[in-house]
Amino acid sequence: MKRDFKLYWKLFASTFYLSAFTFGGGFVIVPLMRKKFVEELHWIEEKEMLDMTAIAQSSPGAIAVNASIIIGYRVGGILGAFVSVLGTILPPFIILSVISHFYTQFRDSAIVAALMHGMRAGIVAVIADVVVSLAEGIVKERKVSSVLIMAGAFIATYFFHINIVFIILAAALIGLILSITAKQERKDGEKQ
């Protein structure tokens, strides 16, 4: 990829646009980014997108900001990271600066409530769509460990509300142990 003005502008415009529609928490930006950067622009591969999400999730701060830092860095280096962070923080910055002057009217507006109500149903569909695609990818790997980790992580976070950081650390440890034992098995096999 040529790192010229066009690339940085595209990066800024994309992150600005995505951030303006990230309602309902940081995870909503993941399906949006996947659609844009994996499927439309082909800048990033699906697996890499998941790795980036894991990094964004395990770092402190807002997931959307963290994800845009790492995508920007990947696409356009340090400058790319700053450009995409700017794109991500500007929409909420502008919207909140304006709204903070008349927020009671905004909060009590029935039209805004109706818009949000409809959008929430849309967000459910958007997340369901990306979960189906990603889970399909995991199941197709035909690795029992991956499916077990996926189910275990879901139960831990949804039913037991275990802090996400602990879940990520536990999975990382499991992954590390699996990779080490797999290596030893192969070595044992070579000896025989």
Interactions with another protein, residue window 70-129 (CB under 8 A): 70, 73-74, 78, 81, 85, 88-89, 91-93, 95-97, 99-100, 103-104, 106-107, 110-129
What residues between 151 and 190 interact with another protein by CB under 8 A?
151-154, 157-158, 163-165, 167-168, 171-172, 174-180, 182-183
Nearest Cα neighbor of 152 from 173, 128, 137, 127 is 173
- The amino acid occupying position 112 is V
What residues between 126 and 145 interact with another protein by CB under 8 A?
126-132, 134-135, 138, 143, 145
DSSP assigned state of 4: S
- Judged by CB under 8 A, does residue 7 bind another protein? no
| 6-10 own/partner pairs: CB under 8 Å, 24+ apart | 7/75, 7/76, 7/80, 8/76, 8/79, 8/80, 8/83, 10/41
Q: HSE-up of 30 (CA within 13 Å, CB side)?
A: 24
Instruction: Rule CB under 8 A: choose which of 11, 69, 75, 83 binds another protein.
Output: 69
- Judged by CB under 8 A, does residue 25 bind another protein? yes
Q: How far is the CB of 133 from another protein (least distance, A)?
A: 9
Give the binding-site size for another protein (rule: CB under 8 A).
108
Instruction: Rule CB under 8 A: choose which of 11, 64, 75, 83 binds another protein.
Output: 64
- Judged by CB under 8 A, does residue 61 bind another protein? yes
Nearest Cα neighbor of 44 from 12, 69, 22, 71 is 71
